[in-house]
Chain A
Amino acid sequence: NAGVTQTPKFRILKIGQSMTLQCAQDMNHNYMYWYRQDPGMGLKLIYYSVGAGITDKGEVPNGYNVSRSTTEDFPLRLELAAPSQTSVYFCASSYSSPTPGELFFGEGSRLTVL
């Protein structure tokens, strides 16, 4: 079972470039999330989705976009990359339940913007 798969693992971008971080899960989870992790700051929620076709903003959505056309995939798009977007990005998923369930995380994508 692959779980949550993120690609690429590492990427260097120049200021102003764009890219997409890919995330796929094979657990048939309804809920998917994108977080960014910065040293000493914990994890901040960028966007989340409660099902295919439904997305919503988290705490720090500016400079990012998402789409959810299938249950499995939840790509994160960075438009016009800025140095402030240098971070480690984690995709996560969870199952539907009456109470908040366990988050399953990918291994992360380390992005550097120069």
Chain B
Amino acid sequence: AQSVTQLGSHVSVSEGALVLLRCNYSSSVPPYLFWYVQYPNQGLQLLLKYTTGATLVKGINGFEAEFKKSETSFHLTKPSAHMSDAAEYFCAVSSGTYKYIFGTGTRLKVLA
């Protein structure tokens, strides 16, 4: 069975500071990993995804994530937070069966 754990349901950072959102996964097969962002009263949209190949994945809006198999992690980072980054972020895993398991989400607050 697959699962996703997102550490920290709420994270606050100052504008211009590093953003680090944590995601650990469990999977018995090589995983496919995703980060989605949800702005208030909207659906989720894809930030980035890891399938195979390069372990450092770059996404939209300056976000990136690194797949670390030994740590079973796929943490999301951004060097400098912007006010517009305030949203809820979801990590998701798929084994390739086209079912996606989502984490419980991390709400990011950006302080001026």
Interface residue ranges, A against B (CB under 8 Å)? 4, 31, 33, 35, 40-45, 48, 50, 58, 90, 92, 94, 99-100, 102-103, 105-108
Complex Cα spacing A44 to B43, Å: 14
Instruction: Assess the B43–A90 pair: CB atoms within 8 A.
Output: yes
9 A-B residue pairs with Cβ-Cβ distance under 8 Å, sorted by A, are: A33-B100, A40-B9, A42-B103, A48-B98, A100-B94, A103-B34, A103-B36, A108-B41, A108-B42
In the complex, which residues of chain A have a beta carbon less than 8 angstroms from the beta carbon of B77? none
In the complex, which residues of chain B have a beta carbon less than 8 angstroms from the beta carbon of A103? 34, 36, 44, 46, 100
Q: How many A-B residue pairs have CB under 8 A?
A: 56
Complex Cα spacing A51 to B4, Å: 27
Complex Cα spacing A43 to B51, Å: 21
Instruction: Assess the B32–A40 pair: CB atoms within 8 A.
Output: no
Instruction: Assess the B96–A100 pair: CB atoms within 8 A.
Output: yes
Known: A58-B99, A99-B96. A105 touches B43 (CB 8 A): yes
Complex Cα spacing A93 to B96, Å: 15
Instruction: Tell which of A33, A44, A92, A100 touches B32, judged by Cβ atoms closer than 8 Å.
Output: A100
Q: B83-112 toward A: CB 8 Å interface, digit per residue (1/0)? A: 000000010001010111011110000000
